[in-house]
Structure 1
């Protein structure tokens, strides 16, 4: 009896250890290939220990040994220290944060986002990016700044000056953070973990798919929307041919698609849904005001719009009066058009009309989505610094939804949201997929270990993703019939420094019949950023896949070589029905030089079949006019300082290359303010792909060593230098 008691004590102590005040519950099985960690705060553990242990056990049954770590976490560094220890000792592949875990708020790293470019001198809470790349990318280095006094769970960090400048996640992560929905937060976690365990105990193939494209996505371009269905079949061949079903909807299929979308996500058999839409933390925007077709409908809708317009201005009576007068004088709209803007009955009616165009937080709870996984290709739906947000509402609702992938800030429309989806169909864990596709703002809300049963019993992508790197094996996977198995191999070869990666990517891009493989080659070559990248942009502009064509336009703008010009000009003429391609061309033409553009337009039009050549020439030169305004403001100083700073800031999105030498001279001008020089240095840091990058590097290298200028200028020059130098 005594021996049994001693054995029990040793076993318990072996499974539960204290490390620097953290309590770590070890898995009951030996770690062989990899492990996982559940990281919770102490109170969550005390309230939800049974459910957390059940989660730990079900992962163990899937041969994923799982640690449970809990503490009263003081800061993100304490959490990261534990993660790093488990990673080094136990081959950690991922973590999930349960409960109140500190939120890193990242600054000086907007280039690692897809689109976010808010002035960081404004509200810190709004201008920082909540990001768990602090925890799951060990290459990135951060400098602590301060804790938020109003939001004590938020901690501000700047990306280190000498930090690597690319995201390469070592592990994957997810968050299970309860929300302010009127339900006890520990009850939320308990109920959620119960359905997670249930989901892991069922076998479910990814064979029921739904994609919705909302108003304003991809400029409402049909040519941008259509390829998604073809790509999905390429990524998961055969899955949707018989029993499987993929559904694709657009905002224009019906005046108010909200109910149709609700019916889809309530389906008990739906596996994955993707929303290409606009969003906020508390709203999914599905559609806009329906198109009207009669005079009566036109008038009704105009009155609705004007009532809302007045409500937005009503607090400022003097401005409202001026707006009334302008509307009456210019458009002949007297006060009868606004009548009822303050009538409670009409306000309610207008509010109901607005509610028909999207999904609110309360709607999500009422709907209780059953779709197992949701990808929100939208802004702010995953903003976990908020007390309540859309992505979390999905997983905490009563339905079967267990995981979501969403963005904490705004996100670029010209982004590939379906990248590597085939790995999910082949059994990769959601976290393993996200680890390969992460940007600074993307996050899993919910269980990152969830996986679908592979549609090919001979392939388990969860095993492929975690296997140690073997160059010969990766090269052999390039012969796989599955596009995303090939793409996984390319990602692994790139990440592990395969010596011939650039040539391999270029050759594969030029020869592969698979659009998603060509896209992966394109995106990885951008990271390599050598001559092969700048040279493939011309053939990429003629690719059959519309997304590659519009990406080629964006990257030509980033590189800025005038020799590119005949190709976007020709694309504007021959591919103008691809509205997103044409939109990007007109938006970025002005970063090139004027004379080469005029020559390119003349040469292309000379051999063109179109009849309206003068009209096209006028359109292109009108698009170029932004260059004149920018040069006048920045170089000729024809605007006040505030406007000049706005023009300088715009260089982050559209880097004017031909003016770089003049910009660099301004950095030496004593008459320029320090604020202006700092702003200019920050914008020049976005010239990473520019053919003028060597000149910027040279000047920044000189400035960062110049003891005769201010410390602030030296520091910003050093940051820009390493942004451009660091590959």
Structure 2
């Protein structure tokens, strides 16, 4: 095939065409010319193995000058050859997205206060969602592959990827970048030819994930059993699912590394905290004896003393604080001694996986999902997710995040598609958010674990409404959920009542979650209605999301339901926390009525949590209050919508006598009220501001952005 390929020069781009006829869909490797010149054989071998899987593959190489060049090439291939996905290999421009934090799960960094490189989201949604619109800002003067864009004010405000995408970007691990790419594609080809089924599953939950809630943690085994039954087979069958928590041992790092080295491991999920260079596996271990506890406290206090960075004034304050608490300097003695620094550093390393550990471990888990912050930050010269695929192990695909993510983000929706033999890219295309990316091979797939359905055919065929509706009758729950996603993506008008019925009747937790989450995207009356039922769902994650979404909608009718759930389900720590946080969304009258007659510690906690609303409003609405604090409390409305105070917020927004910075902060914050039952009031006010001759350009720009965001 390599000999029969045709090379076409189009606007200085070279396209190596597949020899095989395109009957359904196609795929593309997008790379830079130096990488093609160094790795042509390996990339062509990869294209050949995809052709054997009936996925004809283009290879496009060029010395790319901008993301627009890359996107244009991708869109042309999609239009002419029904492209289903791409992998971006080597030195491909990185779109750095701004004004789109609502498309992330948690990222809320102040774009005006912090540098562009830190406060932007590196995201390939620029390439794989063709409908999103962006306004170019600038090229990074120090990082030539970084290009900054704002999401256009009138762009669609939801992600609906037209294709799937992935990155294979070498890291600084001491090895030649092109050699890394060669090795990766060689092992990717081997895995495509292995015929390996997904029957060995591993999940690890690190310290601090789910707030260490056992109620939240135990749910995953139940959902995996429903989605991938083959990983729960009998002892005589090969399949097995394993679940591990941070407190199964004092230092579980070695156990995790041993698990990742297993030659038969197929899929792993890490629920943890993370940074580009580290997976945080465990914290301070639980100990039984006093001497062990004392040593751990001393280690912690030495660390705090070092954080004074040699500043004598800070060190004196630190010493005074802990001396007043009954400690003396012996508790942090030796904090600045080289031998003690080394010993404490080694102790700290026992609590996480760092870059060098990944190389040493050489993970064999074919795919790894990181439900963690920053582990896939491809802005950095090195990152955890990329280390996995460039290791000597069998890992060929990871799914990771380029910035911080919501701790409670659901990573397991549609996971059964992988068990059925879906390509990783097809799975990710339905679950992506702005910051989530495949690092590695998006075309990788496990051999199907069921003979009664061809998931690849379903995922690669053109959308057909009747065919999707027929899939709702299949026995595989995640195939039914896939059909619901596709119906939503294509705007099927009869979807809402179907979702309502499925939520109420399905025994499968993740299918109920899919139904509820798609109703959330529709934002109609059925969504408002289902939340009061979902707060009592058997699945903890669904209860948690229902509480959060009630706060986003804001009907006072939710308050007694939430209060009852708080008292009935307080052992579910994350559900209780969400209720405490969102109760402030509602009116004084509704909360007072719901808490009337309630007493005890739980009632006291709720009243204390609700008092935040009065404190927040008192600062936000007081023109004489400190401006910095006014803006800070206003910004908090993004995460915690307060609906009962909207008339006052709108009045502040339209008050020409108000400080303009405070007004702009409020206009920005109200853009996050996209599920509010009162969003039409906000839109009307923004419409008046953007058309008003008395409004400044800054006010008009933000009002226009918020208007389209809510519309």
Range class of TM-score, shorter chain: over 0.9
Q: Secondary structure at the match of 2:268?
A: strand
Alpha-carbon distance, 1:671 to partner: 3.0
Alignment partner of 1:323 out of 318, 325, 328: 318
Tell me, what secondary structure is at the counterpart of 2:232?
coil
Aligned position for 1:272: 267
* Offset at residue 303 of structure 1 (A): 0.9
Aligned to 1:143: 135
Residue 29 of structure 2 aligns with which residue?
A: 38
TM-superposed deviation, 1:385:
0.8
Question: Which of residues 136, 145, 160 in structure 2 aligns to 1:168?
Answer: 160
* 1:21 maps onto 2:15 in alignment: no
Check whether the contact 1:109–1:159 (CA below 8 A) recurs between aligned residues: yes
Structure 2 residue 676 is the aligned partner of structure 1 residue 690:
yes
Aligned match of 1:87: 78
> 1:236–1:482: 8 Å Cα contact kept in structure 2?
no
Is 1:415 the counterpart of 2:406 in the alignment? no
1:444 alignment counterpart: 438
What's 1:610 paired with?
none
For residues 534-574 of structure 1, the C-alpha deviation after alignment (integer angstroms, 9 at most, x for no partner) is: 11000000111111000000001111111100111111111
Deviation at 1:12, TM superposition (A): 7.2
Confirm whether residue 636 of structure 1 aligns to residue 622 of structure 2: yes
1:48 aligns with 2:39: yes
Which residue pairs with 2:93 in the alignment?
102
14-23 or 396-405: bigger deviation: 14-23
CA contact (8 A) 2:654 2:685 kept: no
Q: What displacement does 1:636 show?
A: 2.6
Distance 2:34 2:179 in 1: 13
Q: What corresponds to 1:664 in structure 2? A: 650
Alignment partners' CA distance in 2, 1:371 and 1:650: 40
Task: Find the aligned partners of 2:27 and 2:293 in 1 and give their Cα distance.
Answer: 58
Contact kept in structure 1, 2:39 and 2:182, CA below 8 Å: yes
Superposition pairs of residues 485-564 of structure 1, within 5 angstroms:
485-564=479-558
**In structure 1, C-alpha distance between the alignment counterparts of 2:176 and 2:4, rounded to whole Å:** 32
Moved more, 661-670 or 52-61: 661-670
2:63: which partner in 1?
72
Q: 2:388 aligns with which of 378, 391, 394?
A: 394
Q: 1:218 maps to which residue? A: 210
The answer on 1:702 being equivalent to 2:688 is yes
* 1:287 corresponds to: 282
- CA distance, structure 2, for counterparts of residue 304 and residue 718 of structure 1: 53
The whole-number CA distance in structure 2 between the counterparts of 1:316 and 1:587 is: 38
Structure 1 position 293, deviation (Å) = 2.7
Q: Secondary structure at the match of 2:353?
A: strand
Name the CA distance, whole Å, in 1 between partners of 2:320 and 2:657: 44
Q: TM-score, normalised by structure 1?
A: 0.96
Q: How far apart, CA to CA, are the structure 1 residues paired with 2:514 and 2:413? A: 8
1:680 aligns with 2:648: no
Give the aligned partner of residue 310 of structure 1: 305
Q: Deviations over 1:342-374 (max 9, x none)?
A: 111111110111000000001100111011000
Q: Deviations over 1:415-467 (max 9, x none)?
A: 21111011001111000000000000000000000000110122221211111
Take 2:278 and 2:405, find their aligned partners in 1: how far apart are those partners?
15
Query: For 2:606, what is the secondary structure of its paired residue?
Result: helix
Q: 1:609 — aligned with what? A: none
User: What residue number does 2:452 align with?
Assistant: 458
- Residue 187 in 1 paired to residue 182 in 2? no
Alpha-carbon offset, residue 292 of structure 1: 2.7
Say which SS state the counterpart of residue 654 (structure 2) adopts: coil
TM-score (norm 2): 0.98
Q: Which runs of no fewer than 5 residues in structure 2 stay unpaired?
A: none
CA distance in 1, matches of 2:431, 2:450: 23
Give the Cα separation in 2 of the matches to 1:25 and 1:238. Answer: 40
Q: CA 1:473–1:13 in structure 2 vs 1: closer, same or farther (change >3 Å)? A: closer
Once the two structures are TM-superposed, the CA of residue 615 in structure 1 deviates from its matched residue by 2.5
**1:255-299 deviation digits (Å, cap 9, x = unpaired):** 111111111110000000000000000000000010133322222
Deviation at 1:639, TM superposition (A): 3.2
Displacement of 1:622: 0.7
Between 334-343 and 355-364, report the one with greater CA deviation. Answer: 334-343
| Secondary structure in structure 1 of the residue aligned to 2:377 | coil
Q: Distance in 2 between matches of 1:441 and 1:341?
A: 39
1:253 is aligned to 2:248: yes
Report the Cα distance in structure 2 between the residues aligned to 1:638 and 1:621, rounded to whole angstroms: 27
Q: CA deviation at 1:637?
A: 4.0
* SS of residue in 1 equivalent to 2:27: strand
Q: 1:605-655: per-residue Cα shift (whole Å, max 9, x none)? A: 4xxxxxxx3322211101112112101110134631011111011000001
Q: For residue 4 of structure 1, what is the aligned residue in structure 2?
A: none
User: Does residue 593 of structure 1 match 2:587?
Assistant: yes
Q: CA contact under 8 A between 1:172 and 1:431: conserved in structure 2?
A: yes
- The number of aligned residues is 707
* Separation (CA, whole Å) in 2 of partners of 1:401 and 1:517: 29
Measured in 2, the distance between the counterparts of 1:208 and 1:639 equals 58
SS at match of 1:420: coil
**Equivalent-residue separation in structure 2 for 1:321 and 1:616 (angstroms):** 40
Once the 2 structures are TM-superposed, how far is the Cα of residue 316 of structure 1 from its aligned partner? 2.3
**Residues 673 and 710 of structure 2 are in contact (CA less than 8 Å); yes or no, is this contact kept in structure 1?**
yes
CA distance in 2, matches of 1:716, 1:560: 24
1:182-202 CA-to-partner distances (Å, cap 9, x unmatched) read: 101001111111101111111
Deviation at 1:675, TM superposition (A): 1.4
Q: In the alignment, is the contact (CA less than 8 A) between 2:96 and 2:148 conserved in 1?
A: yes
In structure 2, what is the Cα distance between the partners aligned to 1:640 and 1:171? Answer: 48
Does the 8 A contact of 1:100 with 1:177 survive in 2?
yes
Preserved contact between residue 35 and residue 93 of structure 1 (Cα < 8 Å): yes
Q: Secondary structure at the match of 1:667?
A: helix
Contact kept in structure 2, 1:559 and 1:691, CA below 8 Å: yes
- Residue of structure 1 in register with 2:193 after alignment: 201
